[in-house]
């Protein structure tokens, strides 16, 4: 898909480089990037950030955080220019969402001591769910579960440590993230179904959407149409992840 307008560089990259905010985890997903042994970032959002910086002809600067909650929290601090995150109504009040590139489902990873085989069976007073602060999945888990307690953590590493230390019985994240954590959490499984069905989408700081998103949305549609998003997902082992349909907005 050809771009019909010049990139609004004064809005997209006002400091010179394109500052792309990414969330880092021990396991990749359509949202979370990982850091390899050499310290390099890898992931779908990393690929999208590189492609966008190259397209607008600006240097690239990654700004890494432990979660999308942390990214959202500094959205009004001039800390980043573009990011990629799950959509929910609470977050849509704080950042401007654009086109979706991935269909998201959030569920639970549970350990054997949880004695649960379904999402419904987790809703007991003796169950503690590790939820990442400020995230769409964390908010959805807190709303969905009435008896189980959500224990808030800063990032995915902390969630894994909490469960492995015996201080929680479940982790709430996207299905892709949880499948990647199976090898890091002994005697665990990922439950079928989901308590959040949403999209992972491009986003810019609140108030910049009108100027920035027409160009960025066109870029996302181009990346879906030319197979780049599918290629990035597959390269990270996310072969079952679903690319959002053409023209789909964050929802």
User: What does the pLDDT profile of the chain (251 residues) look like in tens digits?
Assistant: 445 678 999 999 999 999 999 999 999 999 999 999 999 999 999 999 999 999 999 999 999 999 999 999 999 999 999 999 999 999 999 999 999 999 999 999 999 999 999 999 999 999 999 999 999 999 999 999 999 999 999 999 999 999 999 999 999 999 999 999 999 999 999 999 999 999 999 999 999 999 999 999 999 999 999 999 999 999 999 999 999 999 998 87
Instruction: Say what the pLDDT of residue 4 is.
Output: 60
CA distance 202 to 172: 22
Q: Are strands 41-42 and 242-243 parallel, antiparallel or unpaired?
A: unpaired
C-alpha closest to that of 7 among 73, 72, 77, 55: 55
Instruction: Say what the pLDDT of residue 189 is.
Output: 98
Backbone φ and ψ of 167, nearest 5°: -105, 5
Number of H helices, E strands in the chain: 8, 12
- DSSP H/E element including 48: helix 44-56
CA distance 168 to 109: 11
Q: Which two tokens stand for residue 219?
A: 């870029």
Residue keyed to tokens 């997902």: 233
CA distance 221 to 251: 16
Q: Which two tokens stand for residue 107?
A: 């569920």
Report the SS3 class of residue 95. Answer: strand
- Predicted model pTM: 0.93
How many residues are recorded in the chain? 251
Q: Tell the burial category of 247 from Cβ atoms under 10 Å away from its Cβ (0-12, 13-18, 19+).
A: exposed
CA distance 208 to 122: 41
Q: Which residues contact 200 (CB under 8 A, 6 or more apart)?
A: 30, 31, 84, 85, 86, 87, 100, 101, 102, 103, 104, 174, 244
Q: Which residues contact 54 (CB under 8 A, 6 or more apart)?
A: 60
Residue 69 DSSP class: H
CA distance 251 to 211: 20
Q: Which residues of 116-149 are buried (b: 16+ CB within 10 A; e: fewer)?
A: beebeebeeeebbbbbbbbbbbbbbbbebbeebe
CA distance 105 to 236: 18
């Amino acid at each position: 898909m050809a771009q019909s307008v010049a990139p609004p560089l004064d809005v997209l990259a006002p400091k010179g480089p394109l500052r792309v905010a990414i969330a880092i985890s021990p396991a990749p997903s359509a949202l979370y990037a990982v850091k390899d042994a050499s310290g390099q970032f890898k992931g779908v959002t990393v690929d999208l950030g590189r492609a966008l910086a190259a397209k607008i002809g600006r240097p690239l600067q990654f700004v890494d955080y432990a979660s999308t909650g942390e990214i959202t929290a500094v959205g009004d601090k001039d800390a980043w220019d573009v990011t990629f995150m799950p959509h929910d109504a609470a977050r849509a009040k704080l950042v401007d969402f654009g086109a979706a590139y991935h269909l998201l489902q959030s569920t639970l990873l549970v350990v054997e001591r949880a004695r649960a085989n379904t999402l419904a069976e987790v809703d007991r007073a003796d169950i503690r769910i590790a939820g990442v602060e400020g995230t769409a999945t964390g908010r959805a888990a807190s709303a969905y579960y009435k008896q189980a307690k959500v224990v808030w953590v800063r990032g995915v590493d902390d969630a894994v440590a909490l469960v492995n230390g015996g201080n929680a019985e479940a982790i709430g994240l996207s299905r892709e993230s949880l499948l990647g954590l199976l090898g890091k959490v002994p005697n665990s499984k990922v439950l079928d179904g989901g308590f959040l069905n949403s999209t992972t989408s491009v986003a810019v700081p609140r108030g910049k959407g009108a100027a920035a998103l027409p160009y960025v949305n066109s870029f996302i549609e181009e990346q879906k149409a030319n197979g780049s998003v599918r290629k990035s997902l597959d390269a990270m082992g996310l072969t079952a992840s679903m690319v959002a349909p053409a023209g789909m907005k964050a929802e």
